[in-house]
């Protein structure tokens, strides 16, 4: 197998909690706590988890929109964490982000043309006419008519705005895009259009995606690999087909069974989890999921499970759960 | 007699660009103890429908310009504001999508539940508190005697929605309207809250109108469902028939475009081409025509009404519906 495009090792992001009279750091929110994965060229890693599990923080830490506390990120041969200001700026040509709410992430005072030209200006790409041509091309790629060039974001529907957001991410021909809940705010009929667009862009330009979503069905549709996050940690990662056919971690199983299926005849048995997600400021000891796990055993409360591969060398299926015994420690 | 009869309801909103008819001739019934799902995409009028029933349409800019809403035989569109206030919270109540904005942040939960009980049931402060604790226990809030003195921000999203449900059901209403009650919640919490609404409605014999954009939620919780598009109901019927054999092309298109977990990944998601038309600039004839793959010539001239045909178990507003196949 060729070297992965993106390599993330033990990435950690803790946010300090300030308190008391002197605003000292009194605690740490462990938003991302030692996450490792690879993304291959032209492939999509889907990242699922509930609110507050750290999936957005992870996406931003990779791009250094949040400065990571520890860990390594390599994009091809470049060390993203060690990059200085000017190198980071150059790196950003290759790594971009699409946000959830295209209304909040597009400037209401700029036309589509101005928004899409900005990245080209910042990075000094092409002449004035070339930039204009590039912007027109971008619109075409995301399926917007040239007539919208001088419109403002409020004149668009949600789906069209998201297309503008996607076009902006594509402006610099990136190799890697973080799509943070990119279709979550859209209605189903529009969501399916945008998902197909992302799919097309990937096959056309060979872009790798980190596709962050809370929706397991959307993630299955778009991803080659899937990672499940809980309280700042990855609890399971595998190829999309393997993960959905045979989810190993009790949390993954519960997440899947919790999705309402648009088929009254399915009559699926529900695993309804009790309780809420614990606070990442004070995560449970041992396995972070043990407080809600239907299969929890005594050791789950004290011993933190390690990631182990239940699949094969070339088709790994990583899971961190005591149910599958413990990986050889010696 | 159905508990709620909505008959040819029409609601308009004045906007800067003109008058938008958000609801244009919507009719449906809800029987006692039944759960009706109203499903549709943003702007289809599903929330305006529920707000009309609750008498909560902001006036201005909105107004009910036609039709009747009969609740237990009484026409609500003729009701005075004062009479409506008596009805709301006692005979019909509502839970909203965002429990943080629906609860008052400066009062304790106990305060807010007691308000409802004291106003409508005439309970004393002490009785209302006891009943409030019982209600919190019933919706599955742990340590309700402590939680009752907490403020909304001290609770998680799922717990806040449980508090809303406790408040809404505290006077044993005949009708509960839940407007996207689980949209802001995570899937595992959504599963808990839907289960709770389902069980409580069954225990209390409460009729429920569940407004949602999520077809999965409708399939799992409702007896009947109505699909809305551009201010009209385009198909309605029993949930199993609607999902198994959708007759309106929009219903069929929506169902097909929902990504769902399946053993083999689809190469492409089916989509509905185009976008929802502007309410201020509706096409002639059927509102779905421009996006419809099976439109006929007369679809451009007339707007079809809901009708049942032959063996069909759903009513569809379409001149060229999908045929019913025998199963």
Cβ atoms within 10 Å of A64's Cβ, excluding its own: 16
Consecutive H or E run containing B71: strand B62-71
Torsion angle, alpha carbons of B62, B63, B67, B69, to 10: 80
Residue B59 has pLDDT above 80, yes or no: yes
Enter the pTM of the model.
0.83
Q: Which residues of B touch A274 (CB under 8 A)?
A: 192
Cβ atoms within 10 Å of B183's Cβ, excluding its own: 14
Q: What is the rounded average pLDDT of the residues A23-35?
A: 87
C-alpha span between B102 and B109 (Å, rounded): 12
Residue A295 has pLDDT above 70, yes or no: yes
Residue B316 has pLDDT above 80, yes or no: yes
Per-residue model confidence (pLDDT) at position B67: 93
Per-residue model confidence (pLDDT) at position A120: 93
Determine, for residues B271 and A193 on separate chains, whether the beta-carbon distance falls below 8 Å. yes
User: Does A1 lie at the interface with B, CB-CB under 8 angstroms?
Assistant: no
Q: Compute the nearest-CA separation of A179 from chain B (Å).
A: 17
Per-residue model confidence (pLDDT) at position A103: 74
C-alpha span between A80 and A123 (Å, rounded): 18
User: Does B263 lie at the interface with A, CB-CB under 8 angstroms?
Assistant: yes
Q: What is the rounded average pLDDT of the residues B209-225?
A: 92
C-alpha span between B289 and B287 (Å, rounded): 6
Q: Which residues of B touch A191 (CB under 8 A)?
A: 257, 259
C-alpha span between A152 and B59 (Å, rounded): 30
Q: What is the rounded average pLDDT of the residues A252-271?
A: 79
Rounded (5°) CA angle A43-A49-A50: 150
Consecutive H or E run containing B101: helix B99-102
* pLDDT band of A174, cuts 50, 70, 90: very high
Per-residue model confidence (pLDDT) at position B274: 81
Per-residue model confidence (pLDDT) at position A267: 62
Per-residue model confidence (pLDDT) at position A58: 94
Per-residue model confidence (pLDDT) at position A59: 93
Q: Which residues of B touch A245 (CB under 8 A)?
A: 263
Least confident of B88-97, B112-121, B258-267: B258-267
User: Does A259 lie at the interface with B, CB-CB under 8 angstroms?
Assistant: yes
* Cα Dmax for chain A: 68
- Percentage of residues of chain B with pLDDT beyond 90: 48
Q: Which residues of B touch A214 (CB under 8 A)?
A: 186-187
Least confident of A78-92, A264-278, B11-25: A264-278
Q: Which residues of A touch B269 (CB under 8 A)?
A: 192, 195-196, 221
User: Does B272 lie at the interface with A, CB-CB under 8 angstroms?
Assistant: yes
For testing the chain B interface, which of A50, A276, A277 should be mutated: the one with the most B CBs within 10 Å?
Answer: A276
Determine, for residues A188 and B257 on separate chains, whether the beta-carbon distance falls below 8 Å. yes
Determine, for residues A260 and B220 on separate chains, whether the beta-carbon distance falls below 8 Å. yes
Determine, for residues A192 and B270 on separate chains, whether the beta-carbon distance falls below 8 Å. yes
Per-residue model confidence (pLDDT) at position B101: 81
**Using alpha carbons only, how large is chain B's radius of gyration in Å?**
21
Residue A268 has pLDDT above 80, yes or no: no
Closest Cα partner for A177 from A258, A55, A274, A92? A92
Q: Which of residues 153-192 of A touch B (CB under 8 A)?
A: 157-160, 187-192
Cβ atoms within 10 Å of B27's Cβ, excluding its own: 17
- Give me the residue from B42, B217, B243 closest to A187, CB to CB: B42
- Give me the residue from B41, B186, B262 closest to A188, CB to CB: B41
Q: Tokens 């050791």 correspond to what residue?
A: A299
Q: What is the rounded average pLDDT of the residues A234-254?
A: 93
Enter the ipTM.
0.76
Per-residue model confidence (pLDDT) at position A190: 83
Q: Tokens 């056919």 correspond to what residue?
A: A245
Closest Cα partner for A236 from A101, A47, A50? A47
- The β-bridge relationship of strands A24-39 and A44-48 is unpaired
Per-residue model confidence (pLDDT) at position B325: 75
Q: What is the 3-state secondary structure (H, E, C) of A138-196?
A: HHHHCCCCHHHCCCCHHHCCHHHHHHHHHHHHHCCCCCEEEEECCCCCCCHHHHHHHHH
Residue B213 DSSP one-character state: S
Per-residue model confidence (pLDDT) at position B327: 57
Per-residue model confidence (pLDDT) at position A328: 54
Q: Which residues of A touch B260 (CB under 8 A)?
A: 217, 261-262
| Residues A178, A169 contacting (CB under 8 angstroms) | no
Q: What is the rounded average pLDDT of the residues A216-234?
A: 92
pLDDT digits (tens, 9 = 90+) for B36-47: 999 998 888 998
pLDDT digits (tens, 9 = 90+) for A86-136: 999 999 999 999 988 777 888 999 999 999 999 999 998 889 999 999 999
Contacts 24+ apart (CB under 8 A), B63-66: B63/B11, B63/B12, B64/B9, B64/B10, B64/B11, B65/B10, B65/B11, B65/B12, B66/B8, B66/B9, B66/B10
Q: Distance between alpha carbon A268 and the CA centroid of its chain, in Å? A: 28
**Mean pLDDT, rounded, of chain A:** 88
- Give me the residue from B219, B265, B269 closest to A264, CB to CB: B219
Closest B-chain CA to A264: B219
Evaluate the CA torsion angle A99, A101, A107, A110 in order and state its sign: positive
- Give me the residue from A196, A259, A261 closest to B269, CB to CB: A196
pLDDT digits (tens, 9 = 90+) for B141-183: 888 998 999 999 888 888 888 899 999 988 889 999 999 888 8
Residue B326 has pLDDT above 80, yes or no: no
- Percentage of residues of chain A with pLDDT beyond 70: 97
Per-residue model confidence (pLDDT) at position A330: 41
Q: What is the rounded average pLDDT of the residues B186-197?
A: 85
Determine, for residues B187 and A258 on separate chains, whether the beta-carbon distance falls below 8 Å. yes
Per-residue model confidence (pLDDT) at position B183: 81
């Amino acid at each position: 197998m060729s070297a992965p495009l993106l390599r993330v090792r033990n990435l950690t992001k803790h946010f300090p909690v300030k308190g008391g009279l002197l605003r000292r750091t009194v605690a740490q929110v462990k938003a991302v706590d030692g996450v490792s994965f690879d993304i291959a060229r032209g492939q999509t890693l889907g990242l699922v988890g509930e609110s507050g599990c750290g999936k957005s923080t992870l996406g931003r830490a990779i791009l250094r929109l949040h400065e990571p506390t520890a860990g390594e990120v390599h994009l091809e041969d470049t060390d993203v964490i060690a990059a200085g200001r000017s190198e980071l700026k150059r790196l950003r040509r290759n790594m971009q982000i699409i946000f959830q709410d295209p209304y909040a992430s597009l400037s209401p005072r700029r036309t589509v043309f101005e928004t899409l030209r900005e990245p080209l200006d910042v990075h000094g790409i092409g002449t004035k006419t070339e930039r204009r041509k590039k912007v027109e091309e971008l619109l075409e790629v995301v399926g917007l008519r040239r007539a919208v060039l001088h419109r403002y974001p409020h004149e668009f529907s949600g789906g069209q705005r998201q297309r503008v957001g996607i076009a902006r991410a594509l402006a610099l021909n990136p190799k890697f895009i973080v799509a943070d809940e990119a279709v979550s705010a859209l209605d189903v009929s529009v969501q399916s259009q945008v998902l197909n667009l992302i799919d097309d862009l990937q096959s056309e330009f060979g872009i790798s995606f980190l596709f962050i979503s809370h929706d397991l069905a959307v993630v299955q549709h778009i991803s080659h690999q899937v990672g499940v996050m809980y309280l700042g940690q990855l609890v399971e990662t595998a190829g999309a087909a393997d993960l959905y056919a045979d989810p190993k971690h009790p949390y993954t199983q519960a997440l899947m069974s919790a999705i309402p299926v648009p088929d009254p005849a399915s009559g699926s048995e529900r695993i309804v989890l009790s309780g809420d997600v614990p606070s990442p400021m004070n995560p449970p000891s041992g396995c972070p999921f043990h407080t809600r796990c239907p299969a929890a055993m005594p050791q789950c409360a004290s011993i933190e499970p390690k990631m182990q591969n239940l699949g094969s060398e070339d088709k790994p299926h990583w899971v961190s759960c005591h149910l599958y015994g413990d990986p050889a420690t010696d | 007699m159905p508990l709620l009869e909505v008959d040819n309801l029409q609601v308009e909103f004045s906007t800067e660009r003109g008058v938008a008819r958000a609801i244009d001739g919507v009719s449906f019934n809800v029987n006692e103890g039944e759960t009706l799902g109203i499903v549709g995409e943003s702007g289809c009028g599903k929330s305006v429908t529920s707000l009309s029933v609750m008498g909560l349409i902001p006036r201005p800019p909105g107004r009910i310009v036609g039709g009747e809403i009969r609740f237990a035989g009484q026409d609500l569109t003729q009701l005075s504001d004062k009479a409506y206030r008596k009805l709301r919270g006692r005979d019909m109540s509502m839970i909203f999508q965002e429990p943080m904005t629906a609860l008052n942040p400066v009062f304790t939960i106990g305060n807010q539940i007691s308000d409802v009980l004291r106003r409508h049931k005439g309970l004393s402060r002490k009785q209302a508190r006891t009943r409030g604790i019982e209600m919190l226990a019933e919706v599955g809030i742990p340590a309700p005697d402590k939680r009752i003195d907490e403020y909304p921000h001290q609770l998680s999203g799922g717990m806040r929605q449980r508090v809303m449900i406790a408040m809404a059901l505290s006077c044993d209403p005949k009708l509960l309207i839940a407007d996207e009650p689980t949209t802001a919640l995570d899937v595992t919490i959504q599963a808990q809250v839907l289960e709770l609404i389902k069980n409580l409605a069954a225990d209390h014999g409460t009729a429920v109108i569940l407004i949602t954009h999520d077809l999965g939620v409708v399939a799992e919780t409702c007896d009947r469902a109505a699909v809305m598009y551009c201010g009209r109901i385009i198909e309605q019927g029993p949930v199993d028939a609607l999902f198994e054999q959708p007759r309106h092309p929009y219903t069929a298109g929506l169902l097909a475009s929902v990504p769902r977990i399946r053993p083999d990944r689809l190469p492409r998601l089916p989509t509905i081409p185009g976008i929802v038309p502007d309410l201020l600039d509706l096409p002639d004839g059927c509102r779905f025509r421009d996006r419809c793959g099976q439109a006929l010539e007369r679809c451009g001239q007339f707007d079809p009404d809901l009708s049942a045909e032959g063996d069909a178990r759903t009513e569809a507003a379409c001149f060229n519906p999908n045929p019913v196949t025998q199963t």
